[in-house]
Structure 1
């Protein structure tokens, strides 16, 4: 199977889809800037009074449970139901899955409402979401992405979703199809919001291409290659964050195709 992630990036930038994010307080600014740098248009709307209207005009909905509250959970449920009714892609980021009973209950309730187009998280989150007994360290992973492959397959089968697991090697699963993306640098794990931005970028690709498996692969490759470019200019967390946004904005489809390390 031949795959051209640069073509998907070019389509994203041409369409510049509006991505509706219900995400956490910690990462809003960085996530919005990452979407802008990629070529998409972000909106952060959480009020129950407007989320259904916002979903109606958006290309995709990204739901991130990083900083939960009952009011936001209600908004997430309304937004996910509306997105499902309109056949808009939903990207679910199960931040901290397995860390607390409340977090697990919320995820169960959200998944009862609609099946996401893409579930994107770290290995510990994916294992917890699949029902495996796993130790978590807050929102950080304590397990490798490769070790979560069977859990990712189970989730994909259960919900009909593409499951994207971040790690030293990103693992993307859709049914019996598996892809591995070997791009990225370890410093990316020391920047708050990098994973959350990866979910938002997956939403941007899914909004502009309805093959969600390929969209998830292209998103992972774009994030990883941008991280590698940024690391050439910045090796400390503060400067790396800015360099990453610059790299995401300047990466060309040709550069992505030449540099992406994708195994299908």
Structure 2
């Protein structure tokens, strides 16, 4: 029959074994990541977001762009000389929302990564191109609702002003409305390496001197990459 002292020794040994096991659980993935190289660590970091979810903060926009479901695929990683920075190229299938606007997107994503300590993390956002396209679409929506012509002009790609077609007439009609509300119900996006296509289902409400206005419709926009941002390369309306 074991004594109290024997049981104490066994308890101490058990505690040491459990502590060692916990340390291995934390250490082994890091050691495996180092052994596999930065490419495997970066791919794992992107795939982990599928379980954790994405919440993308957009500059100047109060609410984040949140995912309901998303998938990264066809991921390739280019590590820069020095081994402290890298860029991941991938396709991203995204379904989520920005406030009341439903957002669905499919296309190319470019994600810069940096090494912080022993870990590779996105330099800014895990889906910066998607965030840039949604940001410019939301900026247009808010500028239309506020009647801010200067803000709208800043969303156009250089040279667009000379070829607006019938868009200006439609813009003037929207600006005439009093108590104007412009809502984007859905954005369907297709992102390529240097441009994007967005289809918007919209609702416009307001008041003319002669009657109230409550209209719904759909528009398609072309956007072009300008540095880290996107601008409208077709009309705004």
TM-score if structure 1 supplies the norm length? Answer: 0.27
TM-score if structure 2 supplies the norm length? Answer: 0.29
Indicate the structure (1 or 2) with the bigger Cα radius of gyration. 2
- Which structure's residues are more often strand, by fraction? 2
- Which structure's residues are more often helix, by fraction? 1
Q: Whose relative contact order is higher, 1 or 2, with alpha carbons under 8 Å and at least 6 apart?
A: 1
